[in-house]
Amino acid sequence: MDLFNKCDEFTLAEEYKKLGIYPYFHALETKQDIEVMMEGKRRIMIGSNNYLGLTGDKRVIAAGVKALTEFGSGVSGSRFLNGTLTTHLELEEELASFLNKEACVTFSTGFQSNLGILSAIAGRNDLVFSDRENHASIYDGIRLSYAEMIRYHHNDMEDLEVKLAKADPNKGKLIVTDGVFSMSGDICKLPDIVRLAKKYGARVMIDDAHGLGVLGAHGRGTAEYFGLEKDVDIIMGTFSKSLASLGGYMVADKKVVEYVKHKSRPFIFCAAITPANAATALEALRILKQEPERPKALLDIAKYVREGLKAKGLNIIENSIAPIIPIYTYSMLRTIIACKLLYEKGVYVNPVLPPATPEGECLIRTSYTSTHTRELMDEAIEIIGEVLNNLPEDDESLMALLEHRHE
């Protein structure tokens, strides 16, 4: 059997391209912002994770240019050997201080952060309790650790306790959860998780990729939002969202950070983040500290949009304050066609399809930025309501619509 048979059998992408509804790899022609140029046309951007609107900030860009000039384009090695810059150390020191932890270590990407943390801190004789809706990088990190993965139902604390109670008391235990879940926008039930962790002798790790710069009075994330910063053992996050760069980090007690730095293969054997990435993340962090009104503006605009979409009669997931607002579109075909029509009318959103959702529960994921204006959001809400409220629900009618468009 030829290894590449699976490649020959994968035809779905080509089929959607022929139908003119392939939803991926649209090319930006301008910097990431609340409005962008994509493929020759203005689009309202409500499909990015640029939560604080800093990717185009002049101060952030200037910091990147300065670092590129001073340190060059890359480090040509891992942090473990020749790849540590003074900027890396500054970034780690300021992140640890901001998040009220003893120490910090940075990774090349957010995905790699979870791989590096989990594969180092957990092992064959340990148990990792993972929310079923955790990010894919958490799943892969647990697999790489060889620890036993025990999944609990999404945000179901009764199910988590049942599984903790059954666990071998002689094994190390880690509860890992997204702070803000990336697809639904749900916020984890951190007070209950902390209570159960103390009851059953487990440690707690939060993936706060979508929490930093979003939740908490100072934008410190999920733990600050719940007043539980001292009770969370490990906080992981990314630079590619609120901090307008690329990379990831972990903050924890110094002994935990030191252990991970010396045991994590994805950290030891990977080149460090570039000088420009480190400098732009550091500048964005400093702006967040100086301008704590940005997270509040972000949640305010999310609340405004949530109310506007509900007023249009759309079925949204609304049990959160987060700037991630999914809209149910149910079938895969309806979701992809809706995204296509919205894109044509000047609104960029993201389709969420199986396996990211169960069959029949497909979503359009919309996400917002602190610099979005109400006027711009009114325009987007109007277009979304028009498209979705006039789109057939059954696949037969949807296919007929496609055929009519091709005539």
Q: What is the pLDDT of residues 63-97, one digit of tens each?
A: 999 999 999 999 999 999 999 999 999 999 999 99
Of 362, 367, 21, 46, which Cα lies nearest the Cα of 181?
367
* Catalytic-labelled residue, pool 88, 241, 340, 372: 241
Q: Number of folded domains in the chain?
A: 2
* Res. 101: pLDDT tops 70: yes
Asked if residue 304 and residue 261 are part of one domain, the reply reads no
Q: Catalytic residue at 210? A: yes
Contact (CB, 8 A) for 134 and 177? yes
> The pTM is what?
0.95
* Res. 319: pLDDT tops 90: no
CA pair distance 403, 407, nearest whole angstrom: 6
Encoded tokens for 384: 């979304």
* Catalytic-labelled residue, pool 88, 210, 340, 372: 210
Residue where a domain stops, chosen among 230, 264, 290: 290
Pairing between β-strand 362-367 and β-strand 350-352 as defined by DSSP bridges: antiparallel
User: What is the reported pLDDT for 396?
Assistant: 82
In sequence order, the β-bridge partners of residue 327 are 316, 364
Question: Can you say whether the dihedral through the CA atoms of 44, 49, 53, 57 is positive or negative?
Answer: negative
SS3 assignment, position 122: coil
What are the φ/ψ torsions at residue 152 (nearest 5 degrees)? -115, 155
- Return the CA Rg of the chain: 22
Q: How far is CA 108 from CA 57, 78, 238, 284, 366, in A?
A: 22, 9, 10, 17, 26
In sequence order, the β-bridge partners of residue 187 are 180
Asked if residue 251 and residue 185 are part of one domain, the reply reads yes
* Res. 407: pLDDT tops 80: no
Share of the chain above pLDDT 90, in %: 91
For residue 205, what is the domain's CATH number? 3.40.640.10
Asked if residue 375 and residue 244 are part of one domain, the reply reads no
Asked if residue 141 and residue 27 are part of one domain, the reply reads no
Segment 339-361, tens digit of pLDDT: 999 999 999 999 999 888 888 88
Asked if residue 392 and residue 305 are part of one domain, the reply reads yes
Of 287, 320, 277, 24, which Cα lies nearest the Cα of 181?
320
- Residue ranges of alpha helices (H) inside 154-273 are 157-166, 190-200, 222-226, 254-263, 265-268
For residue 377, what is the domain's CATH number? 3.90.1150.10
Contact (CB, 8 A) for 123 and 146? yes
Encoded tokens for 302: 């999310």
Encoded tokens for 362: 């497909």
Residue where a domain stops, chosen among 230, 263, 290: 290
Q: How far is CA 15 from CA 11, 22, 403, in A?
A: 6, 8, 14
Q: Catalytic residue at 397? A: no
Mean pLDDT in the chain? Answer: 95
Asked if residue 164 and residue 62 are part of one domain, the reply reads yes
Asked if residue 175 and residue 88 are part of one domain, the reply reads yes
Asked if residue 130 and residue 164 are part of one domain, the reply reads yes
CA angle 276, 277, 279 (to 5 degrees): 65
* Catalytic-labelled residue, pool 108, 137, 182, 242: 182
Asked if residue 284 and residue 297 are part of one domain, the reply reads no
Q: Catalytic residue at 241? A: yes
Asked if residue 386 and residue 322 are part of one domain, the reply reads yes
Kindly indicate the confidence band of residue 308, based on its pLDDT and cuts at 50, 70 and 90: very high
Asked if residue 210 and residue 78 are part of one domain, the reply reads yes
Of 369, 372, 363, which Cα lies nearest the Cα of 326?
363
Asked if residue 217 and residue 327 are part of one domain, the reply reads no
Residue where a domain stops, chosen among 260, 290, 320: 290
Find the domain containing 381 and state its range.
Answer: 5-51+292-406
Q: What is the number of other CB atoms lying within 10 angstroms of the CB of residue 130?
A: 23
